[in-house]
Amino acid sequence: MKLSHVPVPEPEDCQGGPLCSEAAPPRLHDFEVPVPAHLSVYGTTTRASLYGREDAPLVIVLGGISGNRFPALCPDGGPGWWSGFLRKGGAIDPADYRILGLDFIADPTGRRAPTPFDQAEVVRAALDLLGVERAHAFVGPSYGGMIALAFGQAYPDRVERLVVVSAGAGPHPTATAQRELQRRIVALGLAHGDGEAALGIARGFAMLTYRTPVEFAERFDGGISEADPLSCSAPGAYLRARGDAYPKVMSPERFLSLSASIDRHRIEPDAIPVPTLVVGAETDQLVPPPQIHDLAARLGGPVTLHMLDSLYGHDMFLKDAPRVSELVLPFLRASA
């Protein structure tokens, strides 16, 4: 398969910058992956990227539903969504690995939700297209961890090891209820012709589940000073800002499809024989510690479990990326 090379501007801080190397710089390729015919309701193709040393072992990296196919580096030279983890000297150094990222399939009308197994099938199609029989690893935080687990169950011979961060065997009932409320907000907004505003409110609600009360107490004062019931509080201003930015990377309809996909997640841990590193946050409100421990106890292959005490809850993989990297690095370099 011929890949299209994307010229990437060299980082200005190439002296020791996070993506710099003394050898030839890693190359970024952007390409289309055909979606299996029975999943064509979600589109006939999706986009994928390869970044890293071209003869290196391949590592699949997928993140939360807001993540795109550029986990390490964007075509304009800017940082990818997980650049704090995919960096020089980190667990996945682009000088040592090829990094495969994909855009998730989703229903553009927002009326159907794929399963993580559907997403895993698209990952398999990408490996087939690249001629890769077996990936070195599948690294997935959040939704990406659900897909990694589905991939390990459906295609255990196509990957040497899994790294699952902040994901369980299925959705927690409280998290499902929270996401359902978010989807109802977005659906109501779409019905009244203001889907983007509704998406912003849903995103603000979601941020409360991604982070922790301790972090909010450190950053903001509670309460409002105005008599107007709709006056903006200090934490509310932050959530509004995050919500206002969200439609730039997510449409209301795509959100409905992918949010519901999380709640369609169900795997059988004992049917996954692949060696797995499981990482969780003690403060995670979406995937609480008992779910992480339960997953690790039930997996069918060798398991390594680490729990981190993080200020950032479910967003630990983003905000505490260097700590996660320290745990992942020896696991990726160990013999399979």
Residue type, 123: V
Has 142 been annotated as catalytic?
A: yes
Alpha carbon distances (Å) from 25 to 89, 93, 320, 323: 15, 12, 26, 26
Q: What is the 3-state secondary structure (H, E, C) of 161-182?
A: CEEEECCCCCCCHHHHHHHHHH
Helix (H, G, I), strand (E, B) or coil at 61: strand
Q: Are 6 and 34 in contact (CB under 8 A)?
A: no
Phi, psi at residue 256, to the nearest 5°?
-55, -45
Has 4 been annotated as catalytic?
A: no
Catalytic residue among 93, 103, 107, 284: 284
Instruction: Residue 306: name the closest of 287, 334, 322, 326 by CA.
Output: 326
Instruction: Enter the tokens of residue 327.
Output: 């745990």
Alpha carbon distances (Å) from 229 to 225, 237, 242: 10, 14, 21
- The residue count of the chain comes to 336
Q: Which residues contact 53 (CB under 8 A, 6 or more apart)?
A: 23, 26, 94, 95, 96, 97, 98
Catalytic residue among 49, 93, 107, 142: 142
Has 314 been annotated as catalytic?
A: yes
306, with CB counted inside 10 A (0-12, 13-18, 19+), is: middle
Strand partners, 305: 278
Catalytic residue among 83, 314, 315, 325: 314
Q: How many Å apart are CA 297 and CA 164, to the nearest integer? A: 14
DSSP string, 230-253: TPPPHHHHHHHHHHHHGGGT--HH
For 95-130, letters b (16+ CB in 10 Å) and e give: bbbbbbbbbbbbbeebeebbbbbbbbbbbbbbbeeb
Q: Which residues does the annotation mark as catalytic?
A: 142, 284, 314
